[in-house]
A and B are shown apart, each in its own frame.
Chain A
Amino acid sequence: MNQSITNKKKRKKDTVALVLIYLSSGFSIGLLLLILGYVAFKAVPYFSFKYLYSTTSIIDHTVGILPNIINTLYLVIVTLLIACPIGIGGAIYLHEYAKNQKLVRIVTFANEVLAGIPSIIYGLFGMLFFGVYLGWGFSILTGACTLSLMVLPIITRNTQTSLETVPKSYREAALGLGTNKWYMIRTVLLPSAIPGVLTGVILSIGRIISESAALLFTAGSGVLLPKGLFSHLFNSGATLTIQLYLEMSKANYENAFVIAFVLVIVVLLLNLFAKFIASKWDVSKVENNGK
């Protein structure tokens, strides 16, 4: 047991370890800087705000990603419309109503399984089930339903965590005033749980925006502008990530870097927004009596 602090040999090992540690974290951080820098460096010469509101036309010789931005928005909104009620509702049931703990464990396990399935498998399933069996083919609706399964665990988990942080006293006070359970949940619990739910929503938006493998065979690669608000759901729609893949495949690297640049900026903004929400509405900072 050479625990003596005057032992010089141990010091050498320590410095080696320290050097390795600094190298590793330098590498990791350096990676981020390299990626951001390279994407910006390659994209800025070609970038102009015009990209964001024009379409790609062979006849007019223009390039633009407006349809892709619209498709991405459609996908985010529809996916959330499907996933949020299911996720939030499910989490509420599991946390507030469920008396059978076995059910809670099975559902939690199912959510973990869903979270672990690779996106290409979701893509295959979505294509088979929503695309072929239900007959929706390549469409935004197919893509949205597939993605909602992917983000379901995120929303459920975050809502559950958020419900856990709401102090018991809130519930007891409301029930003590004579409200019914659902009323209490609606008017007292949910509003207090909103920050956690919002975190889940933002994480889901991040996931939806970065998703490509699951969308390739579900939402497809269409780039038409919507002719009707609702009918566009049944059209095929390439999101920004899918368009990036297509441009890469065709070696249009200028377009590809512009799209990559836009994506990185969006992710950055989302991240900052999430941090802002988390810091501003921290329920656990509120006084907890009896928790």
Chain B
Amino acid sequence: MNKEMTSINSDLKKREVVEKSAEHILRFLSIVSIIAVIVITGYMLMAGTPALLKYGIFDILFGTVWQPTSSNPSFGILYVILTSIVGVTIAVIIAVPIGLLTAIHLSEIATRRSSKWMKTAIELLAGIPSIVYGLLGVQIINPIIYQLELLIFKNSATHQFTGGSNLLAAILVLVIMILPTLISVSENALRAVPNNYRTSSLALGASKMQTIFKVILPSAKSGIISAIVLGIGRAMGEAMAIVLVAGNTIHIPLPFSSVRFLTTAIVSEMGYAQGAHREVLFTIGLVLFLFIMLINVMLSAVLKRGEE
């Protein structure tokens, strides 16, 4: 028998060293995420603020003309900001009812067997790379929207035809993308509602639908809100799926206008931007970053209030 293994007193010093160093190393590893957050925030601020100071916060954030490469460059990103806000809001407004109702189906109405494979289907949808949604958007959604556009603006003298790549197409792609997240997180929230809520409500004579909409949904409120916020975050941060379906020129965000989102503005020009142009792209990144942080902070605040 190996002496080292049986005696608990031998090599005490060696063991001590191993123990102590293990603890130190592990402690260091645990704070890597804190360091990462600090460094990332720092870099975004460092990269994004010079342009704001050089060209004026007002001119950039509220300007409407984007001509970064002309001899008298102008960096107005107001329409870009508006596009992200409008596009994400509409996408969420469309996706939430569909997602919530599907979640209700999964958790309250479907039988155990069917809810199992439905859940697998939703997880599969969630796992598909977003760029694939972009591919389908280009192939399926763009042509359909173009036909719609031709129909609606048939006699218009002023409409500039986008060929189907516009805000509407981007919104549809965003809806499809955030649906799986909305469904699975809402479903978890609904399932977490204690069963006795359901049974007591039914016992009091309420129908199943009444139970669902008047008892279970309100109790699952905080979970559903976090699902919605996750969906908003996902939609705001999406770039690759919509860059090829949204048209990529800057206009006021109307459904049949070619538009740029905060994310697509960065993706489409970062590859070649230099100097001041590049700095402003980082400013756009900073604006996006702050938006997402704001949304997440609001989420924590709402959740905290929900716990009280």
Contact = CB atoms under 8 A, between A and B. Distances in A.
Report if A and B touch in the complex (beta carbons < 8 A). Answer: yes
A275 to B, nearest CB: 8
Nearest to A243: B131
Interface residues of B, number: 84
Contacts of A125: 40, 43-44
Contacts of A76: none
A270 interface: yes
Given A118-B292, A121-B289, A248-B138, A32 B129 contact: no
A92 to B, nearest CB: 6
Looking at chain A's contact residues, the main secondary structure is helix
A149 B36 CA distance: 7
Interface stretch (A10-18, A46-54, A58-66, A164-172): A10-18
A92 B26 contact: yes
Interface residues of A, number: 87
Contacts of A224: none
Interface stretch (B52-60, B67-75, B236-244): B236-244
Interface string B123-144: 1110111111111101110000
Interface string A68-83: 0000000000000000
Contacts of A183: 15
Contacts of A4: 205
A213 B296 contact: no
Interface stretch (B97-105, B146-154, B163-171): B97-105
Nearest to B209: A14
Contacts of B92: none
Contacts of B30: 89-91, 93-94, 98, 103, 107
B141 to A, nearest CB: 12
B193 interface: no
A55 interface: no
A97 interface: yes
Contact of A85 (B29, B39, B99, B271): B29
Given A24-B101, A35-B128, A212-B131, A217 B240 contact: no
A43 to B, nearest CB: 11
B43 A129 contact: yes
Contacts of A32: 121-122, 124-125
A111 B35 CA distance: 11
Interface stretch (A189-197, A227-235, A252-260): A252-260
A38 interface: yes
Contacts of B225: none
A241 B129 CA distance: 8
Given A10-B210, A93-B30, A248 B125 contact: no
Contacts of B301: none
B129 A107 contact: no
Interface in A269-291: 270-271, 275
A248 B210 CA distance: 48
Interface of A: 3-5, 10-11, 13-14, 17-18, 20-25, 27-29, 31-32, 35, 38-39, 42, 85-86, 89-94, 97-98, 103, 106-107, 110-114, 116-122, 124-125, 127-129, 149, 152-153, 156, 178, 180-183, 206, 209-213, 216-217, 241, 244-245, 248-249, 253, 256-257, 260, 263-264, 267-268, 270-271, 275
